[in-house]
Amino acid sequence: MQHLKKLFTQPTTLLVLFIVLAILASVQSVLLGLKTFQPDGPLYTHYNNYVIFVQSFFHLLEQKDLYILYPAEHWDLYKYSPTFALFFGLFAYLPAVVGLSLWNVLNALILFFGVKVLPNFSDKQKALLLLVVVLELMTSLQNAQSNAMMAGLLIWAFACLERRQYLAATFFIMATVYIKIFGLVAMSLFLFYPRKDKLALYSALWAAVLFVLPLVVVDWQQLLFLYRSWGHLLADDHSISYGFSVMGWLNTWFGLVADKIVVLGTGVLLFCLPLLRFKLYSNFTFRILTLCSVLIWVIVFNHKAESATFVIAMSGIAIWFFAQEKLSRENLVLLVLAIVFTSLSPTDLFPKFIRKGLLEPYVVKAVPCILIWGKITWEMLRMPKVEQLAKVN
């Protein structure tokens, strides 16, 4: 048992595990064949999201609107940037099982190496952290989603900021923005570091480069049309669905039909409150807790949050737990709740009648994440000032 424990805390073992899981998830999705998303509806692949991404590249080449339905090709809308559609040209001409495997492996590797470069964490802590998120990673990979990539890029950006590698850090953050717009929240991390002029300049540079990159296959007018269409889609998308979020929790548990703007505004206010503690900016624990807050906030305050997005939130939870200087019993309870009700709730650990009749309708998956985000915010507000810490030490 001790030998097995040691084996699974080795970086090489975990790297192989992440790659194997990515390939297995891909092969499984291909072998599962076709499914329907609605009664008597058309049939689509189990890797429908990957098909959406691939087809967005061809739609880009064909000068089509990326942001309308193409029911003959796939289910649901494409909701990412024109630049992300161009990026998918790397996979578009490959056989489905090969391209899907490479896409999932890329996601797994970015998360793995994002965690691997985290400063002030031991190899054992990083290994345990990765093991905590592996269930959510599989959920994301089985859905061919980009969420593991999002989590990895945000974590990697923090690691680069800590090392003052601003060019790389700003690229990683802007890359997340051009995948999913909520990556903008991570720019709050810039508050902690010197040379904000350089951070602003590099961010603007990468934003401009990523904005115009699709010009290699479309003209300027078409590019502007696509960005306007993307903006309309995001604006319209805001009016429907509560998702696995704070809004969904308030609605299903308490019957509150809260205005999404009000809930989001409250979330922004609560997120920003600890950032008023300027004297703690030099404290690594405060900075790492802010990263955790970002990773969880972008999910629990996202009205479109679905099961496959929670690898981002669970990454924040795992980092928060293993960043503790002292093991707290209440934090351990919260972590166990997150593993059971966030990571395991979509699995066969729970009978189908419980999953469909209780866990999903009452957005139970989100609840431990909401509680932990509240705990992190409280910890940041209650943390002693740097001068007090110095006296204690």
Residue 391 has pLDDT above 50, yes or no: no
- Give the span between the Cα atoms of 102 and 27, in whole angstroms: 11
Looking at residues 95-120, what average pLDDT do you find?
97
The tens digit of pLDDT for each residue in 293-316 reads 999 999 999 988 899 999 999 999
- When pLDDT is cut at 50, 70 and 90, the band that residue 222 belongs to is very high
Distances (CA, A) of 124 to 7, 114, 289: 11, 15, 20
Q: Tokens for 169, please give them.
A: 């850090």
pTM: 0.95
Beta bridge partners of 45: 34
The pLDDT score that the predictor gives to residue 126 is 96
The pLDDT score that the predictor gives to residue 1 is 58
The pLDDT score that the predictor gives to residue 239 is 57
Burial of 15 (0-12, 13-18, 19+ CB in 10 A): middle
- Give the span between the Cα atoms of 123 and 130, in whole angstroms: 11
Beta bridge partners of 43: 36
- Which residues have a Cβ under 8 Å from the Cβ of 346 and sit 6 or more positions away? 139, 307, 355, 365
Backbone angles phi, psi at 43, to 5 degrees: -95, 140
The tens digit of pLDDT for each residue in 280-294 reads 999 999 999 999 999
- When pLDDT is cut at 50, 70 and 90, the band that residue 5 belongs to is low
Q: Give the chain's mean pLDDT.
A: 93
Nearest to 76 by CA among 257, 306, 299, 231: 306
Query: Which amino acid would we find at residue 115?
Result: V
Residue 4 has pLDDT above 60, yes or no: no
Burial of 138 (0-12, 13-18, 19+ CB in 10 A): buried
